[in-house]
Amino acid sequence: MTDKRPTLTIKPKAASGKPAAKPANPAAQYARPKTASQPAPRPEKRPEAKPAAPRKPEAAMRPSYEIKPQFQQAYRPDLPADSLALAMLGAASAVAQVRDGTALPQALANVFTAYEATPQGRGAIQDLAYRSMRGLGRAETLLGLMTTKAPDVPMLVGLIECALVLLDPPPGEQAAYEPFTVVDQAVTAASRHPDLAHAKAMVNAVLRRFLREREELVAAAVKHPLARWNYPQWWIDATKAAYPRDWEAILEAGNRHPPLTLRVNTRKTSLEDYLRRLEEAGLAADRIGPSALRLKQATNVSQIPGFHDGLVSVQDAGAQLAAPLLGLEPGMRVLDACAAPGGKSGHILELADVELTAVDADPQRLARVRDNLGRLGLSGTLVAAEAQTQDWWDGRQYDRILADVPCTASGIVRRHPDIRWLRRKTDTRQLTTLSSEILDNLWQMLRADGKLLFVTCSLWPQESEAQAAAFAARHADAVRLDAPGQLLPSSGAGLDHDGLFYALFEKRVA
């Protein structure tokens, strides 16, 4: 490889007639600009002024590209709505927002609003953003190998990394675009954005260097765990510690695109009738459970026959185990704690005529439960409240409780690839404490001989098996019944589900 590395120098604005100030060194890879709250420097002593020399004619000022306190992530450039350049800018903005702590769905919603994105544009931006989340560690490492320092502009980092993800697809996956198209559109994207235009030459140089030296660069990058696995080091270490024999397969499963699995609403149609309806629509599917179908080719939900009429819902095969485990009977009082977005609530009501209460702490997420039940033609009592409190409870005990408690969501990272970059190692301990409080509180709301199903979408034993064992130790009247336990992310003939944990408890009659 050559020693020449394209670098980015962002020049500060120069005042007319005065020399430009030297650029400040960035404090960190994604450092934010310093605020005005810092103490002002002392005024310098100046020598006595000399008679001014005759002024030379001023040349036209060059555009200033100083780093601004607020980067224009929401700036909508004048680009065709269906262009790859616009999709790359939108995905770059989403990546920058995730790095700043925003969950990817919200980041994408922000982009769609700011860009006034068309349905086609939304699909392209979302696809590239999710690809980028799955390949971010490798792209970040490659960028580090080709630059002496990372660019200070988050949007610029995101744009280059999105382009690298397209130029370097995962093994066995065909590139979505020709290399020259990716480079051309990335440079076009940079040139049309006010915070990036100064760096279009750098974008071009970095991407072309990658194409020239791809084999060497990739070989060097994959020596780093971040690039090899596309997870933070603490996540890799935690997976190794929990699953010494399966950790590699688990990490690889989290980087794959998840299948589109459907749950048929047997109140409205039979599995066989719906399979025929799919066939008539030209969609092939496999039956993988009592009411579960897996499409052989993923498609937009708007193209799924009967989705808007409530004939089917999108739900992972592993998640479809929850409602049947409760052993529901008509007339039961059932509580779905931490219910959003409502997939399990809907399944409960599809299986039996029960009196359902769905609780969630987030009113906006609870609205999704309402929307899902409305689409299915079902209803329940929705309560915006925290499950570790009792001020919302009417005092009447429940026959069944589903406790899908907050967790790190490490088992559903293939569906939410931003989770790996948003979570921190300390989150596990904090969430375990919260879920313990929720379980202890809900247990008081369960009648004698009632059942509580404890569910997490986590892979970490602290949040799952260890939590279940600790709960049983705290409650002498808790009898643990047969349940799947830890489901590892898996795929294969008939198997393709997320990483979930199930523990079922019955309350012993005194």
| Active-site residue set | 457
- Residue pair 478/489 in contact (Cβ under 8 Å)? The answer is no
Neighbour tally for 436: CB within 10 Å: 16
Identify the CA nearest to 437 among candidates 477, 389, 488. 389
- CA 111, CA 462: separation in Å to the nearest integer? 36
- Looking only at the bridges linking them, the beta strands covering 495-497 and 490-492 are antiparallel
DSSP 231-266: S-HHHHHHHHHH-TTTHHHHHHHHTSPPP-EEEE-T
Identify the CA nearest to 332 among candidates 348, 308, 310. 348
- Residue pair 403/358 in contact (Cβ under 8 Å)? The answer is no
Identify the CA nearest to 505 among candidates 468, 470, 474, 461. 468
Identify the CA nearest to 438 among candidates 328, 321, 336. 336
Q: Kindly state the DSSP code that residue 205 receives in the 8-state scheme.
A: H
- Residue pair 168/221 in contact (Cβ under 8 Å)? The answer is no
In 369-499, which ranges are E strands? 381-384, 398-404, 446-456, 478-487, 490-492, 495-497
